[in-house]
Structure 1
């Protein structure tokens, strides 16, 4: 997975920590939750089953013994899924929102991009 849309700072911090390939699964599973990150990660730990041992260890190193509130990052996820050419219906399902909201997010992003393009020439 490369060339992801620009991520919000909280998401980018997690991308830097566990990598692009793990971030969507992590956010999809834990979005909006305040999770406890143990200091030592076992093979059976929920985090390990979602992101794998290496990423779970990175999370434990950074947050071990504390709590992490996982961002929902719905708009960013919609943009990522759109860049993967997923259907709007599937995007809505994965982002936990309605198809109408997917359309609104994408329309808003298109308008913003059009304004940026206008001023960049």
Structure 2
């Protein structure tokens, strides 16, 4: 999951709109606060808004410009967040506590992320498999 040209993991399709507008740190904060819940992004955010309180007016306003790309329910993105927290230097047990999962689950997710990262860095593609292998 971690792309070779940047220290943070590539966001999933559900997380990408948030990531484009908010960046890594604020996307993580937003998902921590609202993940798994339905959220309404107001066209004209007010200062009393919980989104404004968390992100500030400018970023809350920026979310309105992409609200058509957002799902009604904020994704939890636990696997992606585990890789992002690891890229920030958090220990496995800290990640597990933040996500409310076991350290075993986090280790498995990180292992899969490392394998995907390694596969992305390979410069030579694998040869195609034959359509009709010899029997």
| TM-score of the pair, normalised by structure 2 | 0.75
> Which residue of the partner structure matches residue 7 of structure 1?
11
Counterpart residue number, 2:128: none
* Post-superposition CA distance 1:63-112 (Å, at most 9, x none): 28x97321111111000111111111111122232111101111222333
Point out where structure 2 has 5 or more consecutive residues left out of the alignment. Answer: 1-5, 125-135
Instruction: Work out the number of aligned pairs and report it.
Output: 118
Structure with more relative contact order (C-alpha pairs < 8 Å, separation 6 or more): 2
Structure 1: which 5+ runs fail to align?
none
Higher strand share: 1
Q: Distance in 2 between matches of 1:112 and 1:41?
A: 39
Contact 1:35 1:67 (C-alpha < 8 Å) held by counterparts: no
Q: Which residue of 1 aligns with 2:90?
A: 86
> Rg: which structure is higher?
2
